[in-house]
Amino acid sequence: MQSPIRLKKRKTKCNVIDLKKTLCLDKVFLYLKLPLPYPHDSPIILGTFSIDLTGMNHSETLELSLQLLRQPSVTPVDHSCQNIMADRLEKIGFNIESMRFEDVDNLWARKGTQAPVLCFAGHTDVVPTGSLDDWNSDPFVPEIRDGKLYGRGSADMKTALAAMVVASERFVAKYPNHKGSIAFLITSDEEGPSINGTVKVVEALEARNEKMTWCLVGEPSSTNQLGDIVKNGRRGSLNARLTVKGKQGHVAYPHLAINPIHTASKALAELCDTVWDNGNEYFPATSFQISNIHSGTGATNVVPGTMHTLFNFRYSTEVTAEQLKARTLEILDRHNVNYDIEWTLSGLPFLTPVGELVNAAQNAIRNVTGIETELSTSGGTSDGRFIAPTGAQVLELGVLNASIHQIDEHVNVADLEPLAEIYEQILESLLAN
| Confidence class for position 331, pLDDT limits 50, 70, 90 | very high
Residue 232 in this model has a pLDDT that exceeds 60 = yes
pLDDT of 22 above 80: no
Give per-residue pLDDT as tens, 337-392: 999 999 999 999 999 999 999 999 999 999 999 999 999 998 888 999 999 999 99
Say what the pLDDT of residue 379 is: 85
DSSP structure string for 185-254: EEES-SSS--SSSHHHHHHHHHHTT---SEEEE----BSSSTTSEEESEE-EEEEEEEEEE-B-EETT-G
> How do residues 97-107 score in pLDDT, each as one tens digit?
999 999 999 99
Q: What is the pLDDT of residues 102-150, one digit of tens each?
A: 999 999 999 999 999 999 999 999 999 999 999 999 999 999 999 999 9
Looking at per-residue pLDDT, the higher value among 32 and 57 belongs to: 57
Q: Which domains does the chain have, with CATH numbers?
A: 60-234+349-432 (3.40.630.10), 236-347 (3.30.70.360)
123: helix, coil or strand?
A: strand
pLDDT above 90 for 36? no
Task: Give the pLDDT score at 46.
Answer: 43
Per-residue model confidence (pLDDT) at position 337: 98
What does DSSP assign to residue 258? B
Give the pLDDT confidence of 244-299 residue by residue, as tens digits: 999 999 999 999 999 999 999 999 999 999 999 999 999 999 999 999 999 999 99
Of the pLDDT bands very low, low, confident and very high (cuts 50, 70, 90), residue 58 is low
Percent of the chain at pLDDT above 70? 87
- 156 annotated ligand-binding residue: yes
152-166, 370-384, 415-429: segment of lowest average pLDDT: 370-384
pLDDT at position 14 is 35
pLDDT at position 380 is: 82
The pLDDT value recorded for residue 381 is 84
CA distance 400 to 402: 6
Mean pLDDT (the chain, rounded): 90
Q: What residues have CB less than 8 Å from 279, skipping those under 6 apart?
A: 285, 286, 316, 318
Confidence band (pLDDT; 50, 70, 90) for 52?
Answer: very low
Phi-psi group of 93: left, alpha or beta (phi > 0 → left; psi -120 to 50 → alpha; rest → beta): left
Backbone φ, ψ for residue 280 (5° rounding) = -155, -165
405 is in an annotated binding site: yes
- Interatomic CA distance for residues 300 and 196, integer angstroms: 44
The pTM (predicted TM-score) of the whole model is 0.82
Residue 11 has pLDDT above 80, yes or no: no
pLDDT above 90: residue 30: no
| pLDDT value at 7 more than 50 | no
CA 256 to chain centre: 52
Between 20 and 188, residue with greater pLDDT: 188
Kindly list the catalytic residues.
Answer: 125, 190
Establish whether the linkage from the previous residue to 85 is cis, with ω within 30° of 0. Answer: no
pLDDT value for 57 = 54
pLDDT at 24 over 90: no
Query: Does 71 have pLDDT greater than 70?
Result: yes
Residue 390 is given by DSSP the state G
Which whole number is the average pLDDT over 164-177? 98
383 annotated ligand-binding residue: no
Residue 219 assigned ligand-binding role: yes
In this structure, how many other beta carbons lie within 10 angstroms of the beta carbon of residue 141?
A: 14
The count of other CB atoms within 10 Å of the CB of residue 294 is 10
